[in-house]
Amino acid sequence: MSKQQLVPFPKKLYPSHHRNNYYSYSAKNKSALQLSDSSSTNEYSSPTRIQEALAGLTVAFSLLSKAIACSAIVGVNPLVGLWSSVIMGITAPLIGSRAGVISGTAAVVIVPLSALTMTHGVEYMPLCIILSAIMQGLFGLCNLAKTADLVSEEVLSGFLNGLGFILLFSQAKVFKAAKAVGALQPAVAMASLCFAIVQLLPILTKAVPSSLVGLVVATGLGMVLKLPLATLESTAPAGTFSGGLSSLPQLIDFGQLRTMATSSSAVKLVMPAAISIMIIALVETLLAGKVVDDMTGTKDEKDYDVPKRSVLAMSTGNLASAFLGGFGGCGLIPQTVLNLKSGGGGPFSSISYAVAMASFVLFFAPLVGKISEAALAGIMITVAYDTVAWSSSVTSIKAALSKEGDGTRVQRLIDLFALGLSSYICYFGNLAVGIIGGVVAQRGLHSIFNRVGSSNDEAVAS
pLDDT per position as a tens digit, 109-130: 898 999 999 999 999 999 999 9
Task: Give the tens place of pLDDT for each residue, 42-93.
Answer: 455 678 888 888 888 878 877 887 888 889 889 998 889 999 999 999 998 8
What pTM did the predictor assign?
0.73
Q: What gap in Å lies between CA 217 and CA 229, rounded to an integer?
A: 14
Give the pLDDT confidence score for residue 270 in this predicted structure. 96
| Amino acid at site 76 | V
Asked if residue 378 lies in contact with residue 217, where contact means CB atoms within 8 angstroms, the answer is: no
Task: Give the tens place of pLDDT for each residue, 243-288.
Answer: 888 788 889 999 999 999 999 999 999 999 999 999 989 988 988 8
- Evaluate if residue 368 carries a pLDDT over 90: no
Confidence of residue 14 (pLDDT cuts 50, 70, 90): very low
- Evaluate if residue 38 carries a pLDDT over 50: no
- Evaluate if residue 456 carries a pLDDT over 70: no
Question: What average pLDDT does this structure show over 370-384?
Answer: 86
Confidence of residue 303 (pLDDT cuts 50, 70, 90): low
Give the pLDDT confidence score for residue 246 in this predicted structure. 79
Of 14-23, 148-157, 164-173, 218-227, give the lowest mean pLDDT range.
Answer: 14-23
